[in-house]
Amino acid sequence: MAFLLVSAYLLLTRTQGAPVENGALLETLKSQVGLFSNKSEHYSAQVRPPGTSRRIPQTIIIGVRKGGTRALLEMLDIHPNIVVAATEVHFFDWDENYVKGIDWYRSLMPFSYGNQITIEKTPGYFTSPQAPERIHDMNSSIKLLLILRDPTERAVHRYANTA
């Protein structure tokens, strides 16, 4: 899992510009673990921090149920230059949400500064036949982080947690 998190971080920083110097990266992440979270739930819907805006995500996490998408999102959210949507939006896979339009989708994103990466997580996009084209139409250069898990481990975990 640690390798996956580091790989995801490197992918994001390589394409967005590294926000933290190499030597300070580890110390920054250590100081943030458990002490600070920039989750969007902390912001009231009416309060907009100065210099921020709601932006469509630059990255979307997709994957399978019980595959670790929530864990990846929570680990990435520790970084101060990443903000995450509070819930699974299901914009691209549910027609009743898609017809509400891109402005509705943007309104569900957290406030972010220009140097921050906005991330949404909806595993259902992975199995939706219409989601890939809709995502591409919105932003053809968006980064998709796909999380997969060994099918046997996943089945055992799901069985153990539903029995």
Confirm whether 66 is a catalytic residue: yes
Work out the pLDDT band at 10, boundaries 50, 70, 90.
Answer: low
Average per-residue pLDDT in the chain?
Answer: 81
Rg value, the chain, Cα: 16
**Count of CB atoms situated within 10 Å of the CB of 91:** 26
In this predicted model, what pLDDT tens digit does every residue of 101-151 receive, in sequence order? 999 999 999 999 999 999 999 999 999 999 999 999 999 999 999 999 888
51 is in an annotated binding site: no
Instruction: Enumerate the β-bridge partners of residue 111.
Output: 54
Instruction: Enumerate the β-bridge partners of residue 10.
Output: none
In angstroms, the CA 87 to CA 160 distance is 25
114 is in an annotated binding site: no
Mean pLDDT within 74-96: 96
34 is in an annotated binding site: no
Active-site residue, from 30, 66, 100, 143: 66
In this predicted model, what pLDDT tens digit does every residue of 54-65 receive, in sequence order? 999 999 999 988
Alpha-carbon separation of residue 51 from 44, 78, 112, 135, 141 (angstroms): 16, 21, 8, 27, 25
Contacts of 117 (CB under 8 A, 6+ apart): 12, 16, 58, 59, 81, 82, 83
Q: Which pLDDT does position 162 carry in this prediction?
A: 79
Q: What is the pTM of this model?
A: 0.70
